[in-house]
Structure 1
Amino acid sequence: MTRPRAASERFVAQLPARTRSRVKVIYSPILEIKPQPVNVDASDVRGLIFTSANGVNAAVSLGLRREMPAFCVGPATTSTAKSAGWTAQMAGATAEELVANLLKHRPDSPLLHLRGEHSRGNVATRLTESGLTVREQAVYQQRLLPLTPEAIEAANSKEPVITPLFSPRTARQFADVWAGSAPLWLASISETTAEPLYSLDYVRLKIAKAPTPKKMRKAVKKLVKHAMRVEGGETTD
Structure 2
Amino acid sequence: MTPALILTRPAPQAEAFAAEITARWVGPLRTILSPLLQIVPVPITVDLTQVKGVILTSAHGVAASRAATLPRGLPAWCVGEKTAQLASEAGFDVIAGPGDATRLADKIISRRPDGPLVHLHGVHTRGGVSERLAAAGIGCIDVIGYDQVAQPLSDAAFEALQGGAPVILPLFSPRTATILAGQAPFAAPVHVVVMSTAVQNAAAAINLRSLSVAATPDAGAMIAATLKRLRVMAEQGL
Q: TM-score, normalised by structure 1?
A: 0.93
Matched, 1:70 2:76: yes
Question: Which residue of structure 2 aligns with residue 31 of structure 1?
Answer: 37
Q: Identify which of 151, 154, 157 aligns with 1:151.
A: 157
Q: Secondary structure at the match of 1:15?
A: helix
**Paired residue for 1:235?**
none
Does the C-alpha gap of structure 1 residues 132 and 57 become closer, same or farther in structure 2, counting only changes over 3 Å?
same
Query: How far apart, in 1, do the equivalents of 2:137 and 2:95 lie?
Result: 21
Deviations 1:139-159 (A, max 9, x none): 100101110111111112111
**Cα deviation 1:179-222 (Å, max 9, x = unaligned):** 32111010000011011222222111000011011110011001
After TM superposition, list the pairs within 5 Å mapping 1:8-157 onto structure 2: 8-15=14-21, 17-19=23-25, 22-62=28-68, 64-157=70-163
CA contact (8 A) 1:160 1:231 kept: no
Q: Match for 2:75: what amino acid?
A: P
Amino acid at match of 1:115: H
Question: Which residue of the partner structure matches residue 185 of structure 2?
Answer: 179
Deviates more, 1:100-109 or 1:88-97: 88-97
Question: Secondary structure of 1:177's match?
Answer: coil
Q: Residue 4 of structure 2 corresponds to which residue in structure 1?
A: none
1:189 to 192, 195, 219: 195
Unaligned runs of 5+ in 1: 233-237
Three-state SS of the structure 2 residue aligned to 1:215 is helix
Alignment match, 2:222: 216
Distance 1:96 1:152, change over 3 A: same
Amino acid of the residue matched to residue 232 of structure 2? H
- Which of 10, 13, 16 aligns to 1:7? It is 13
Q: Which sits farther off after the overlay, 14-23 or 50-59?
A: 14-23
- Shifted more, 131-140 versus 88-97: the winner is 88-97
Tell me the secondary structure at the aligned position of residue 21 of structure 2. coil
Question: Secondary structure at 2:191's aligned position in 1?
Answer: strand
Identity of aligned residues (%): 35
Contact 1:185 1:227 (C-alpha < 8 Å) held by counterparts? no
AA aligned to 2:17 is F
TM-score by length of 2: 0.92
- The worse-fitting range, judged by mean Cα deviation, of 89-98 and 16-25 is 16-25
CA contact (8 A) 2:76 2:92 kept: yes
Shift of 1:54: 0.7
Q: Return structure 1 stretches of 4+ with deviation > 6 angstroms.
A: none
One-letter amino acid of the counterpart of residue 147, structure 1? L
Separation in 2 of the partners of 1:201 and 1:139? 34
Asked whether the 8 Å contact 1:12–1:20 carries over to 2, the reply is no
| Alignment RMSD (CA, Å) | 1.5
Q: May I ask how many residue pairs the two structures share in their alignment? A: 232
